[in-house]
Structure 1
Amino acid sequence: MNAFSNLNLQIPDMWEVRDVINKVKNVVLNYTEMEAKVHDATNNEAWGASSTVMQEIAQATFNYQYFNEIMPTIYKRFTEKEAKQWRQIYKSLVLLEYLVKNGSERVVDDARSHVSMIKMMKNFHYVDEKGKDQGLNVRNRAKELAELLGDVDLIKAERKKAKKNRNKYTGVGSEGGMMFAAGGGGYNSGGSSSMGGGSRYEGFGSDSNYSSGGGGARGFG
């Protein structure tokens, strides 16, 4: 067996070990299923989150309980991570932007109420040991997200575009594709969100505004 064959055998094993370690960590730290999914989508690996995990988190925002687990976990990634953990901060911005475009309207309301936190990250700085400015991607992403949240018409347009893309790839003519019951857990096949209220941001209803609190972040200045 040559060196390349050995390498191919080792890489899957390494990923499996990391997966087991992450699952054990979730149990030890008593993370909920949705908190664990957010951590998975915003980990420190060099590659991005899977589209499946992102979609599952977006659909979960239609459930009141899951929403209140997802959003605070994202904001904690901004406030509790050191500058050298810039990948987790960047991925959290990517996830939040995805949820604004694909999640419930409640996400939009909540993210807009935290826009000052996001704007802070436009001043994020981190230069790695090789002298590369890794903060650049964070700053650019924060700028784009802050601009999106400040423009309701743009939010509507992006949500409409995201809805069209979902329908194109899934063949589902509904707004949500998958639905979460308002009180409990679990997936239900169905069309729109079980939450009431009129649609203000294209395609999804929202009960009211919810805020998870603010906070400062490290690595800014």
Structure 2
Amino acid sequence: MAAITRVSFEVDQFQRIVKILRQRMVVFDRKEWRGMCNTLSMLNHLLLNGPLSVFSEFQHERAIIEDAIKMEWIDERGFDCGLKVRNIAEKVLRLLEDDMFLKDERERNRKQSIGRITGFGNSSFVIHSETNNGRDGSLMLSNHQTCENDCIADDHPFVENEHKTAQLLLSSST
């Protein structure tokens, strides 16, 4: 989702993404509920992390999303497949109806994404700190691997140097 969100800031790719999401919403079939669930999840992610124009682009699809809220599909085992679709559709519809709620959720989401340690295993990770603002600072890991402070948050379209004020996540206390 992050890769799609990143390319959604390019005009050509944005139009392509909108077209694909609209096509998937129009062909919604309750027996194929996973497609709608994935489409609504992507739309939710784009509303919270993508360009602001996503909000205006999907105003006309509110009727389709309202239909998804009404969806009921219980499979042969008694599992309510429509529950997840309904929950995501309700959240997306609320984001599309209330621009102040959208603004607050985008801000909350942006704040949560700043200051995380990223990466896993032997791959490098990022430490955001007040004491280590420059790119020349490094941390020696236990396996003698050096990680440059190449902040991934710099790539986030809503970041304006907030990562420089985050607290030190790993301390050197003994």
TM-score over 0.5 for the alignment?
yes
Shift of 1:116: 2.0
Shift of 1:155: 0.5
SS in 2 for 1:130: coil
Greater helix share, structure number: 1
Calculate the aligned-residue CA RMSD, in Å. 2.1
Shift of 1:173: 5.0
Number of residue pairs matched by the alignment: 126
Question: 1:104 maps to which residue?
Answer: 51
Question: 1:91 maps to which residue?
Answer: 38
Question: 1:130 maps to which residue?
Answer: 77
Cα distance in structure 2, aligned partners of 1:116 and 1:96: 15
Q: Does 1:147 align with 2:94?
A: yes
Q: Does 1:176 align with 2:157?
A: yes
SS in 1 for 2:58: helix
Cα distance in structure 1, aligned partners of 2:155 and 2:100: 22
Contact 2:96 2:102 (C-alpha < 8 Å) held by counterparts: yes
After superposition, what is the alpha-carbon deviation per residue over 1:19-70, rounded to whole angstroms, capped at 9, x for unaligned?
A: xxxxxxxxxxxxxxxxxxxxxxxxxxxxxxxxxxx01111111111101111
Amino acid at match of 2:112: N
Q: Does 1:161 align with 2:142?
A: no
Cα distance in structure 1, aligned partners of 2:79 and 2:112: 35
Amino acid at match of 1:166: S
Contact 2:5 2:50 (C-alpha < 8 Å) held by counterparts: yes
Indicate how the Cα distance of structure 1 residues 117 and 82 shifts in structure 2: closer, same or farther if over 3 A, else same: closer
Cα distance in structure 2, aligned partners of 1:60 and 1:121: 27
Question: 1:31 maps to which residue?
Answer: none
Contact 1:122 1:140 (C-alpha < 8 Å) held by counterparts: yes
Shift of 1:81: 4.0
Q: TM-score, normalising length from structure 2? A: 0.64
Cα distance in structure 2, aligned partners of 1:109 and 1:162: 20
Shift of 1:174: 6.4
Alignment match of 1:113 (pick from 43, 50, 60): 60
Amino acid at match of 2:20: T
Cα distance in structure 1, aligned partners of 2:93 and 2:104: 16
Aligned 1:196-215 pairs, distance under 5 A: none
Contact 2:58 2:96 (C-alpha < 8 Å) held by counterparts: yes
Q: Does 1:82 align with 2:26?
A: no
Cα distance in structure 2, aligned partners of 1:174 and 1:81: 34
Contact 2:47 2:95 (C-alpha < 8 Å) held by counterparts: no
Contact 2:48 2:102 (C-alpha < 8 Å) held by counterparts: yes
Amino acid at match of 1:176: P
Shift of 1:175: 5.0
State which structure, 1 or 2, has the greater radius of gyration over its C-alpha atoms.
2
